[in-house]
Amino acid sequence: MNIQITKWQLMIVIVNFIIFSSILMAPAITVVSAKQDGWISMLLALVIGLVLNMIYLFLFKKYNYPSLFELMNRAAGKWFGTVMNILIIFYALHLAAMVVRNLSNFMVASVVPYSHPWTYQILIIIIVMYSGVLGVKNLFLLNDLLFPIVIVLTLFSLILMTKDFSLLELKPFFHEGIPSIFQGAYATLGYPFIEVLLIGTFFQYVQKKEKLMLVYMSGIAAGGLVLVITVFFIIGGEGTYTVARETYPTYSVLRDIDFITVFERVEILLAVAWMIGLFVKICVCFLVVMMGLKHLSGSKTYRPYLIPIGILIWAMSNHLHKTVMDFSNFVITSWTMYWFTLYCLIILVFLIGLLRNKQKSLNS
């Protein structure tokens, strides 16, 4: 099947991937370390993320944007390339399981208390598997349709957050010092600015690859700026003490806002946008796994892997982290270094491939 996507479709998938994995949790993660400078930590994480992804795209461009899995084989050789492909598949699988767990944690903790998390996990995995059957093109078209809705809901939520905003809550700037700001940035760098490298798997399907780097970086920048603005308004509206104590402070802030007597529970608007965004992110990770397995097996289709991988994601989401606290601690303390390790390995493979090509050209 000839799959083609536009640069606009790629960019809005990146925006969704960046925003909706972090918008509910990012304020608390940054504020714990940087206090009222949490928004500066978020901005710093965005800048570092842009630099890392610029290096990634610059080297990717040298190979003319093939499939990420094909590139690993081409750059590192069959054996080491296969090891790298297995590693990328595992990371995508792990990320999908973590996002599924995050979704069920949120639903049980904030939306429908005392419900069973398996309900939401199984439902979202079934929908993602069905989307996987329909293929890559379907995901990008569906995201193209839903993107205006989720962006309007998100922007409306941000406007509501300005109701109780006070600049005094953000002063004095740089009060906690530079080390604390860097610590807050570290916690959000991997979540989500390094994870986005998985989208390199879909570069091969972009119709016109001119200015692809600009499109990719613009998507990251747009999503990152929404996160910075969100953290800024949350701290200014609630204060650092309240934000640091909440697991999902963005949702909690909207829950406390009174917006015209006719409208109640406006926080559910952001929750709907967030769940749609998480669906897109899980689908991206799921398709990366499917395409990786298809590449490794040399088969013409990945459909035989749909049900086994769906079950594996569900099992991982429940057994990798026993409690919500364990899940949150892992994300805050280890997630960035975990993903930075994969990033460094991929960059190393890119450089090895370029050196091998240069050596071949000199020998010939």
- pLDDT score of 362: 67
> What span, in angstroms and rounded, lies between the C-alpha atoms of 285 and 166?
39
Spatial CA neighbour of 338 closest among 159, 161, 191: 191
Q: Let me know if residue 345 belongs to a domain.
A: no
When pLDDT is averaged across residues 163-187 and rounded to a whole number, the result is 87
Judged against a pLDDT cut of 60, whether residue 1 lies above it is answered with no
Residue 164: which CATH number? 1.20.1740.10
Number of structural domains, the chain? 1
Say which DSSP state 259 is in.
Answer: B
275 domain residue, yes or no: yes
Residue 348 lies in a domain: no
Strand partners of residue 263: 259
Q: What is the pLDDT of residues 325-359, one digit of tens each?
A: 787 788 888 999 999 999 999 999 999 999 988 77
Helix (H, G, I), strand (E, B) or coil at 299: coil
Q: Residue 228's closest CA among 185, 174, 286?
A: 185
Task: With beta carbons less than 8 A apart as the criterion, state whether 89 and 293 touch.
Answer: yes
Q: Is residue 100 included in any domain, yes or no? A: yes
- Residue 254 vs residue 200, higher pLDDT: 200
Give the pLDDT confidence score for residue 123 in this predicted structure.
95
**363 inside domain:** no
Token readout for 267 is: 């926080």
Say if CB 42 and CB 200 are below 8 A apart: no
CB neighbours (10 Å) of residue 361? Answer: 8
Judge whether 331 lies within some domain.
no
pLDDT in tens, 9-48: 999 999 999 998 788 888 888 988 888 999 999 999 999 9
Distance, CA of 238 to CA of 256 (rounded, Å): 10
Average pLDDT, the chain: 89
Q: What is the pLDDT of residue 263?
A: 55
Domain that holds residue 49: 7-326
Q: Identify whether 364 is part of a domain.
A: no
DSSP secondary structure letter of residue 199: G
Considering only CA atoms, give the Rg of the chain: 21
Residue 73 has pLDDT above 70, yes or no: yes
In a domain? residue 277: yes
